[in-house]
Amino acid sequence: MDAEQILLTFIALMAIIGNIVALYYLAKRRVNNYIMLCVNLSVSAEIQSIFGFLPTLFLEKDSKKTTLLCRLAAFFSVFPSFTSISILTAVAISRMFLLEKPFLSNHGCYRSLFYKIGMASWVYSLVWASLPLLGFSSYTLEATGSRCSINWTPKRVSDKIFLILLVILMFFLPLIIILVSCFYTARVIHLKLTYFSCTYGKDNIETKRFKKKENKAVLSLLIMVLSFLLCWTPYATIALLSAFTSITTPILLLRVAALFAKVSAVVNPIIYCTKENVFYNITIAFKLRNASLINRSRNMENKNNALDLKPTCAISCK
């Protein structure tokens, strides 16, 4: 294994372990609309890690043939990736929806709506991921010779149309929705902060609480946008270059794109599960467990010391 494969293997293992832990603790929490979307996000990242990343380790290095295993690995990398993007877009839309109608955020009918949003994200992504298998573009061996992906060297007009639509509907449209959601969320929180400042003053407890909430929200939104851009801009750049120019895609760009796309399987669940304090609860659980083990060991030591002192006490009493 070369350095690239070692790094990708490490990312895959981190994604598998991280998403299993996230799913375990998400399952223990009270189900709400946001939790459902987080579960879908972690499941898609887990599928991507196991069925998309690990099979590439068994592909022959610098192979010239596109095998069935290579195509399947490409499909199971692309399908969950599209699902993650769709779910992130759904998270952005749901945030605006719940800010608009906060008193109905956990209402039963809206919960069923969020179930449908999750299912629609999977179906929508499955359709896009299946098109290359049906003849619209194809899954083929990359120029790196180490993995398969969507055909980035299109020769047919249909292949170029597929890449253009893919960039519009799987990159630019979700990015616009995420940005609009971020600005809308920041605006709502800022308006509430202004209201509390004008009504109760800047030193009021509620004003300070909303100030902290605004700072946290802005940081969260920046991380959301930057992570999306970092993970998917390289592949969007490759698709645009392939569709509109005759430039051969640089191998370095292919390697970077594959690396950042795999990092998304680790980063996305951490970002969104952290908002529900999942990993904070994990830390607390480990601390409580360690504290209980320490207390048990101390109690055992005290009991042993007490047993050792009993004969001595008996002798001294005599």
Look at residue 203 in the predicted model and tell me its pLDDT: 76
Q: Which class for 228: exposed (0-12), middle (13-18), buried (19 or more C-beta within 10 A)?
A: buried
Question: What is the distance between the alpha carbons of residues 260 and 255, in angstroms, rounded to a whole number?
Answer: 9
Instruction: Of 44, 231, 29, give the one whose Cα is nearest residue 119.
Output: 44
* CB contact at 8 A, 114 and 94: yes
Q: φ, ψ for residue 142 (rounded to 5)?
A: -70, 165
Q: Is 2 left (phi over 0), alpha (psi -120 to 50) or beta?
A: beta
Whether the pTM exceeds 0.75: the reply is yes
pLDDT digits (tens, 9 = 90+) for 82-118: 998 998 888 888 777 777 665 454 555 567 777 888 8
pLDDT-flagged residues of the chain (< 50): 103, 105, 278-287, 309-318
∠ CA(262), CA(35), CA(75), 5° rounding? 30
* CB contact at 8 A, 21 and 282: yes
Look at residue 102 in the predicted model and tell me its pLDDT: 56
Look at residue 311 in the predicted model and tell me its pLDDT: 47
For residue 102, count other CB atoms closer than 10 A to its CB.
10
* CB contact at 8 A, 23 and 46: yes
Look at residue 60 in the predicted model and tell me its pLDDT: 67
Look at residue 29 in the predicted model and tell me its pLDDT: 74
Look at residue 278 in the predicted model and tell me its pLDDT: 46
